[in-house]
Amino acid sequence: MKSLVLCSGGLKSALMTAVALKEGDATLLFVDGEQPAAHHELAACEMFVSYFRHAVGKDLGLIVERIISPLDSPFKPVVLVALGALRAYQLGYDIVYYGSSRDDERKGASVSYLSVLRSLADVAQADYDSTGAPVHKVLIEAPLALLTLWKVLKLGEKYKVPWTLTYSCERGDIQHCGQCFHCRRRQEAFLGSGIDDPAPYEHERGGRKWNLNLE
């Protein structure tokens, strides 16, 4: 089994990397869409490669795609999955792992949206070659889609995921800012899971009122 993991260097990406390597060989795909945190996200992906090669003893590759249009749009999931499916198809891989979770803020994380993306990828690929023989088809999988982020952390502990290597801040600061949406969501997830967050923050929680989704 060969898989391509859409990787942003965050918590879910780290878990998806561990899951993919448990299933077989894997390559990470990082997409630089001019997001402010691209440099630190890529650095996290590179650390994943180094860590998992040593910890698992498998060769983990990394592909970097740079696109002109910013990824901050409603079409982000479509672009990511399409790029992933294209690269996986070219490499002869079996699966593209997309690490969305139940509590992602974007509509593209919903189960119905993901189902449409899977169907689109399936329809775009031929079922048979010119001789009538079945052809290889790339599958799109999002195994975390029904989990909230704190449950992702719980599951990641079973896989011994190195949370300390992950990066979540959307501002692209050296330290996590502690104020942007992704930083606050990260803090809430660690607090809800009971797991220590290894990330240093420029602004700590202080007296912030938390809205925890512990379903």
Pull the structure tokens for residue 180: 């942007």
Residue 10 pLDDT greater than 70, yes or no: yes
* Contact indicator for 159, 119 with CB cutoff of 8 Å: no
Q: Is the dihedral of CA 128, 133, 138, 139 positive or negative?
A: positive
* pLDDT tens digits, 51-105: 999 999 998 999 999 987 666 677 788 889 999 999 999 999 999 999 888 887 6
Mean pLDDT of 36-55: 96
- Give the C-alpha separation, 43 to 31, whole Å: 13
Top-tier CATH class for 2-163 = alpha beta
19 vs 136, which has greater pLDDT?
Answer: 19
pLDDT of residue 45: 98
What are the structural domain ranges in the chain? Answer: 2-163
Determine what percent of the chain is predicted with pLDDT higher than 70: 90
